[in-house]
A and B are shown apart, each in its own frame.
Chain A
Amino acid sequence: DAGVTQSPTHLIKTRGQQVTLRCSPISGHKSVSWYQQVLGQGPQFIFQYYEKEERGRGNFPDRFSARQFPNYSSELNVNALLLGDSALYLCASSQGSASNQPQHFGDGTRLSIL
């Protein structure tokens, strides 16, 4: 079975632009979470969606938004990009909200802001 798939793999943007990152969860997984990982740090939680509803939000500004579609895929949008948004953006899926099952990560999207 396919794992979590993310697109694109790499992206270069300039300050002030907007970006959309995409994620398809493992088949049968209904929960998708987004994380930001900057170099040398552990991933930081951004959002969690389950059954198309936001179930959790991390300490990120309103420039960050996300949504989940009926097929459980998800998009992360970031507006008014700043240099500090340069990071690896990770999507993780699990079977259900608070299912006590582990999350599995995709390969990530590496976003560079010039």
Chain B
Amino acid sequence: QKEVEQNSGPLSVPEGAIASLNCTYSDRGSQSFFWYRQYSGKSPELIMFIYSNGDKEDGRFTAQLNKASQYVSLLIRDSQPSDSATYLCAVRQGGNEKLTFGTGTRLTIIP
């Protein structure tokens, strides 16, 4: 079992719709959860981070965390073509800085 799992996609969503990206993790000791966006040929860019169970909203983005189910998700509302990218889920245990990444989900917003 991979430590952090994501559907590789591609996930195609019409412009203006809600894109839902999912991530599961295996280590119950994980404490911090991050979503990064990566455009082709570029480096990862931090979108959201969440530490507590529940929802965290920032503009069009909402991160959701359920530690009991070991599940974290990212919702993108009013999807735009510029949201087309690979979205990386990353998990960090407490006490160190090491991020464990999933393989990423490729999202395509269709105009």
List residues of A whose CB falls within 8 A of some B CB: 31, 33, 35, 40-45, 48, 50, 55-56, 58, 88, 90, 92, 94, 97-98, 100, 102-108
* Interface 9-residue window, one of B53-61, B74-82, B89-97: B89-97
Given contacts A90-B43, A104-B46, A105-B43, contact A98 B99 (CB under 8 A): no
- Is B97's CB under 8 angstroms from A103's CB? yes
Closest residue on chain B to residue A104 by CB atoms:
B46
Given contacts A42-B104, A102-B34, contact A55 B99 (CB under 8 A): no
Residues of B close to A106: CB separation below 8 A: 43
- Is B43's CB under 8 angstroms from A42's CB? no
Residues of B close to A41: CB separation below 8 A: 103-104
B51 within 8 A of A: yes
Q: Within the assembled complex, what's the spacing in Å between the Cα atoms of A58 and B88? A: 19
- Is B104's CB under 8 angstroms from A48's CB? no
Q: Within the assembled complex, what's the spacing in Å between the Cα atoms of A40 and B104? A: 8
- Is A105's CB under 8 angstroms from B44's CB? yes
Q: Within the assembled complex, what's the spacing in Å between the Cα atoms of A105 and B36? A: 10
Interface residues on B, range: 20 to 34
- Is B104's CB under 8 angstroms from A50's CB? no
Residues of B close to A90: CB separation below 8 A: 43-44
Residues of A close to B103: CB separation below 8 A: 40-42
Given contacts A104-B46, A105-B45, contact A98 B97 (CB under 8 A): yes
Residues of B close to A107: CB separation below 8 A: 42-43
Extra contacts besides A33-B97, A88-B43, A98-B94 (19): CB < 8 Å? A31-B97, A35-B99, A41-B103, A42-B90, A43-B44, A43-B101, A44-B101, A45-B99, A48-B97, A50-B97, A56-B97, A58-B98, A90-B43, A98-B97, A100-B32, A102-B49, A105-B43, A105-B44, A107-B43
